[in-house]
Amino acid sequence: PVPVWLDCDPGHDDTFAILLAAYHPGLKLLNISTVHGNASLDKTTNNALSVLAAIGKQHEVTVYPGAAHALERAPIHAPTDIHGESGLDGTELLPRPQTAADRSVSAVDAMAAALRATEPGTAFLVATGGLTNVGALFLKHPDLAAHIRGLSIMGGSIGGGFTPAVLGKVDGKERIGNYTPWAEFNILIDPEAAASLFENLVLAAKTTLIPLDLTHLVLATQEVNELLLYGPDAGVKEGRGKTDLRVMLVELLNFFAGTYRDAFGIVEGPPLHDPLAVAIALIGTEWEIPFYDFDPKSTAGERRHERFHVKVETEGSLEDALKGAKTGQTVATLLASGKEGVRIPRGLDIAMFWKVIEECVSRADEV
Ligand code: BDR
Ligand code: CA
């Protein structure tokens, strides 16, 4: 299995990232670090421990609390109308933590030691929160950029030629960000950390970015809820499938659906951003979920693996950004064919993705 370290801020969608990383047979979850973001660091750490308890992995996976604020900025937490007061509202079935976080070493050093202990060129680092811990990791341990196989980041928004994120319009123009018209939340909360990753060319060539343009194609619809609640045996619903874990996960999705409906007017279901970044670690294995790396509007003959240079806008404060500055925007420039750079998938096999998620729920249910 591919060794994976998950850095996250649970978070409704982070919960599914943890589930996928912990229960996919093609992945070996090394451990988890937490970061400020969807809520304060204390809350995201608490939530990570609770999720591990809910899925029966609390004794196998350790949680290391990381940064409580950005490298150079005060903390920004997601508005409570997205993930609720706790960062993971919407269900009574989430257990309290059954284990404690490990505070004997810093998250950055725990991550470095775990990654360094893997065979060179095998491990994936997956980031589904603000990039403070991951930025600090490569600043302190720069050799790890050459050591790992890949870095996968849920963050950013590209817009333009990409499948547009369905986030409405501002002054008649397409809105590409979620937190501000230009910026996606994970990048905006620590743009300096994000910029330091994309400026590291050794790392950028191994980085996959999963922006809103992609995550907004993967909505947890009513049909998905049914699959997760009852399992794949469509039609035989009475007394089948439905367990406390399945109910809890669907209650979390329903809460997330409500916030996306109210905040963004998205009625089909909420985008399940974070587990897509975990799924990237399966690429090149027998478990690969097909992601495609070309403009869907190109003709079959023109289709090629696109790579990008990504620049993060670091100018401006949060206040500036809320008034319209482009702080936290990810600007992606297509590189000439054959050049190394950041991978930004344009699409994927969505049905297969949900099937894989359901299989992980099913495995967790057997524990
Ligand atoms: C990202 O922000 C968080 O609210 C989600 O968990 C996801 O990681 C989407 O912008
Ligand atoms: Ca997240």
Q: Which of 77, 273, 305, 309 is catalytic?
A: 273
Confirm or reject: Cβ of 43 under 6 Å from ligand 1: no
Ligand closest to the CA atom of residue 187: 1
Give the lowest-confidence range in 168-182, 227-241, 256-270. 227-241
ipTM greater than cut 0.95: yes
Give residue 17's pLDDT. 98
- The Å distance, Cα 148 to ligand 1 centre, comes to 24
Q: Of residues 121 and 236, which shows the higher confidence score?
A: 121
d(CA 135, CA 151): 11
Six-digit token string for 42: 């204390």
Q: pLDDT of 9-56, one tens digit each?
A: 999 999 999 999 999 999 999 999 999 999 999 999 999 999 999 999
Confirm or reject: Cβ of 157 under 6 Å from ligand 1: no
User: What is the rounded radius of gyration, in angstroms, for the C-alpha atoms of the chain?
Assistant: 19
Residue with CA at minimum distance from ligand 1 atom 10: 185
The closest alpha carbon to 139, from 192, 217, 61, belongs to 192
Q: pLDDT of 244-286, one tens digit each?
A: 999 999 999 999 999 999 988 899 999 999 999 999 999 999 9
pLDDT tier for residue 365 given thresholds of 50, 70 and 90: very high
Give the lowest-confidence range in 34-48, 151-165, 193-207, 350-364. 151-165
Q: Identify residues whose C-beta is under 5 A from ligand 2, the ion.
A: 9, 11, 14, 128-129, 274
Contact 145, 138 (CB under 8 A): yes
Confirm or reject: Cβ of 313 under 6 Å from ligand 1: no
Find tokens 């940064």 and name the residue.
67
Confirm or reject: Cβ of 73 under 6 Å from ligand 1: no
d(CA 205, CA 210): 15
Contact 358, 232 (CB under 8 A): yes
Six-digit token string for 362: 């099913």
Catalytic residue flag (residue 273): yes
* pLDDT of 106 above 60: yes
Beta strands in 183-257 (DSSP E): 207-210
* pLDDT of 347 above 70: yes
* pLDDT of 78 above 90: no
d(CA 179, CA 160): 18
Give residue 297's pLDDT. 85
